[in-house]
């Protein structure tokens, strides 16, 4: 069976049944459908592919299909793993000499946002402090801003 996809809205993923061309089936349900549909067509001379049971062809076309079946390579790779090429190309393994060490820590010091805000002119807002502590904090901040502006 050549899996022909039918056109129309939302029919991209449906497969046409080899017994009845009107039947359109999801690929995941095809094996189940073929066993049920074969009972309705007992006189058809369809033969199942030895590599994939969802591939159905006439007796005359089966010999050509067995030669070109896409699932044949998986079976042969399973039977003869050393003589067949791998299914996926192996990634190239080569090392490039490099003087950089990406695992080493950078020479820059770490960033401390609290220390930065204390030294630079950044408006801060104390969260969760009682009113008296917030008042003292705001007064300290005013003095700090005034002292830094004099220079």
Q: CA 141, CA 126: separation in Å to the nearest integer?
A: 11
Quote the domain boundaries for residue 129.
Answer: 113-150
Structurally, how many domains does the chain consist of? 2
- Domain assignment present for 61: yes
Q: Which of 39, 42, 11 is nearest to 24 (CA)?
A: 11
- Domain assignment present for 34: yes
> Residue 2: its pLDDT value, please?
47
> Residue 136: its pLDDT value, please?
95
CB atoms within 10 A of CB 134: 14
- Domain assignment present for 31: yes
70 with 19, same domain: the answer is: yes
- Domain assignment present for 99: no
Task: Encode the chain (151 residues) as per-residue pLDDT tens digits.
Answer: 445 545 555 666 888 888 888 888 888 888 889 888 888 888 888 888 888 888 888 888 888 888 888 888 777 777 776 766 666 766 777 777 888 888 887 788 888 998 998 888 888 888 899 999 999 999 999 998 898 876 5
C-alpha distances in Å from residue 60, one per residue of 39, 46, 65: 22, 10, 10
- Domain assignment present for 2: no
Q: CA 133, CA 138: separation in Å to the nearest integer?
A: 9
119 with 73, same domain: the answer is: no
> Residue 63: its pLDDT value, please?
84
Per the structure block, which two tokens stand in for 29? 């349900």
- Domain assignment present for 118: yes
């Amino acid at each position: 069976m050549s899996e022909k996809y039918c056109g129309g809205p939302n029919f991209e993923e449906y497969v046409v049944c080899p017994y009845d061309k009107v039947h359109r089936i999801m690929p995941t349900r095809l094996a189940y459908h073929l066993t049920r549909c074969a009972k309705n067509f007992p006189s058809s001379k369809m033969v199942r592919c030895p590599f994939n049971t969802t591939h159905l062809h006439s007796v005359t076309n089966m010999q050509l299909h067995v030669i070109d079946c896409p699932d044949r390579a998986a079976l042969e790779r399973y039977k003869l793993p050393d003589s067949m090429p791998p299914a996926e190309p192996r990634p190239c393994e080569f090392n490039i000499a490099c003087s950089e060490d990406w695992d080493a820590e950078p020479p820059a010091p770490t960033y401390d946002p609290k220390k930065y805000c204390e030294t630079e002119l950044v408006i801060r807002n104390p969260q969760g402090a009682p009113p008296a502590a917030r008042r003292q904090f705001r007064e300290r901040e005013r003095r700090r801003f005034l002292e830094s502006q004099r220079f």
